[in-house]
Amino acid sequence: MASSVVKTTTPAQPTTGPTQSSFLATLGRWSFILPLLVLNLIVVIIPSIFGLMLAFTDWSGYGPINFVGLQNFAALFQDRIFFKSLGNNLVWTAMFLTVPIFVGLLGAYMLSGIKRGQMFFRVAYFLPYVFASVVNSQIWRQILHPRVGIGPILAEYGIPILDFPIFGTRETALFGVAFVDGWHFWGFLVILYLSAMAAVDSELYEVARLDGATRFQQFRFVTLPSIRPTLVFTILMITIWSSLVFDYVFMMTGGGPANSSEVMGTYLYQNAFQRFDVGYAASIGVMMSLWVMLAVAGFVYLRRRGWEI
Partner 1 sequence: MLKQRDQSKLPNYLVLSLLALFALIPIVILFFNAVKTTVEIGRNPIGIPQEIRLDNFIQAWDQGGYAVTIRNSLIMMSSTIVASLTIAGLAAYALARLKLKGSALIAFYFLVGTSVPPQLFMVPLFVAWRQVGLINTHLGLIIIYTGLYSPFATYLLRSYMIGLPEEFIEAARIDGASNLQVFRKIILPLSWPGFLTAGLVIGLNVWNEFLFAVTFLPDPALKPVATSLFEFQGRFSRDWGLTSAGSVIMVIPIIVLFLLLQRRFIEGLTQGGLKG
Ranges within 193-252 binding partner 1 (CB under 8 A): 195, 237, 240-241, 243-244, 246-247, 250-251
Instruction: Closer to partner 1 by CB, 127 or 171: give it.
Output: 127
Q: Which of 27, 91, 122, 175 binds partner 1 (CB under 8 A)?
A: 122
187 touches partner 1 by CB under 8 A? yes
Instruction: Closer to partner 1 by CB, 149 or 176: give it.
Output: 149
Instruction: Closer to partner 1 by CB, 78 or 274: give it.
Output: 274
Q: Which of positions 34-63 make contact with partner 1 (CB under 8 A)?
A: 35-37, 39-40, 42-48, 50-52, 54, 61
Please give the Cα distance from 98 to 178 (Å, whole number): 12
Stretch that binds partner 1, among 135-143, 167-175, 197-205, 206-214 (CB under 8 A): 135-143
Paired with 67 in beta bridges are 57
User: How many CB atoms within 10 Å of residue 143?
Assistant: 13
Among residues 200, 202, 203, which one has the least CA distance to residue 225? 200
- Mutual angle of helices 278-304 and 228-244, in 10-degree steps: 170
User: Cβ 206 to partner 1, closest distance in Å?
Assistant: 16
Q: Which of 77, 102, 273, 301 binds partner 1 (CB under 8 A)?
A: 273
User: Cβ 204 to partner 1, closest distance in Å?
Assistant: 19
Please give the Cα distance from 213 to 192 (Å, whole number): 25
Q: What angle do CA 88, 92, 98 make, to 5 degrees?
A: 150
161 touches partner 1 by CB under 8 A? no
- Which segments of the chain does DSSP mark as H helices, in order? 22-31, 34-40, 46-54, 71-76, 80-112, 118-130, 133-143, 150-156, 173-198, 202-210, 215-218, 224-226, 228-244, 247-252, 264-273, 278-304
Q: Which of 80, 147, 304, 305 binds partner 1 (CB under 8 A)?
A: 147
Q: Which of positions 92-111 make contact with partner 1 (CB under 8 A)?
A: 103, 106-107, 110-111
